[in-house]
Structure formats: structure tokens, C-alpha cells
Amino acid sequence: MRHGNKINHLGRTHSHRKALLSNLAISLFLHKRINTTVAKAKALRVYVEPLLTKSKEDSTNSRRVVFSYLQSKEAVTTLFRDIAPKVADRPGGYTRIIKTGNRLGDNAEMCLIELVDFNTLLVNEKVAAKAKTTRRGKKKKEDTVEIVSETTNTEDISTESKQE
């Protein structure tokens, strides 16, 4: 029974699972997105997110800790040089899992796991959407101000004409 064991063993020994997750993390950091099974992606998310949090502080100790997990100088350099500045202001949730359907051979559930800040299509759409909503909001406020000022002007004119 596996009461209280939260880790997904993925049908592998400890050393094999450690090597698998390390290689998946290296590929994720170098390519920014990878295709894999949903079970591996969920296990990879738990493995990668603490490393991304550790990379926010660029110190010798944090580089050594991350290197002990990855064992790849290129991946550590990419992580600290390219990825860490983009995720520095994000409080968590650095990865996104998008399910892509089932694999033809064995019908395994497949997905795409990617770093959130490196999907240029979604980032550009969100920026454009925010700009549109702010412009619309300002126009509505300006229109209401103009309508209110026009009504006060007509009331002032009508009260002046009554006084004369």
C-alpha cells in the first residue's frame, strides 16, 4: 500500500527516475517546451519548479545546488542567464501543461509542458487584450463625463434664461 507516498514512481527505480527527471528538466530548460506523457509532465513540474525558484537568486551556492540536480553546465547557464530574469517577478507557477491527446502506439495520454513566460503567442495576445480593455474603459469614462458636463451646461443656460 502507498499510504502517504505522494511521489509518482513512474514504474522506475530511484536512480532511473532521478536520471529521467534530470534529462527532462535539461530538455525543458534548453528548448523551453517538450512533448511527453502527462504522468511524466506532472512529475517534472514538481521537480523543476523548486529549481526555477532557486534560480531567482544568482549566487554560487544556488548554482551548485541546481547543478547537483541537472549535471549539465549548458542547462544551468541557460537557466540562470535567460530564464531566471523572466520569472523573477512571478511568485510561482512557472510551467504550463497542455494536453494534446493520446499517442497512437500505446494510447498514452500526451501533453506539451512549457515554461509560461516563453510562449510568445500567448504573451502577445494578453498584452494586446489588456491595451484594448484599458482604452475602452477610458472612452466610457470620458463619454460619461462629457454627458454630465453637457447636461449641467444646459441646466445653467435654462436657469439663466428664467432669471432674466
Q: Where are the beta strands (DSSP E) in 12-140?
A: 33-37, 95-102, 109-115
What are residue 105's phi and psi, to 5 degrees? -65, -55
Q: What is the pTM of this model?
A: 0.73
User: Are the beta carbons of 112 and 33 closer than 8 angstroms?
Assistant: yes
List the domain boundaries for the chain: 14-117, 119-164
- Give 14-117's CATH code, choosing from 1.10.3720.10, 3.90.1030.10, 2.60.120.620, 3.40.50.300: 3.90.1030.10
User: Residue 96: enclosing H or E segment and its boundaries?
Assistant: strand 95-102
- 99-158 confidence digits (pLDDT tens): 999 999 999 999 999 999 988 777 666 655 555 556 665 555 555 555 555 555 555 555
Distance in angstroms (rounded) separating the CA atoms of residues 40 and 98: 13
pLDDT digits (tens, 9 = 90+) for 26-74: 999 999 999 999 999 999 999 999 999 999 999 999 999 999 999 999 9
Do residues 96 and 127 touch, judged by C-beta distance below 8 A? no
Give residue 142's pLDDT. Answer: 54
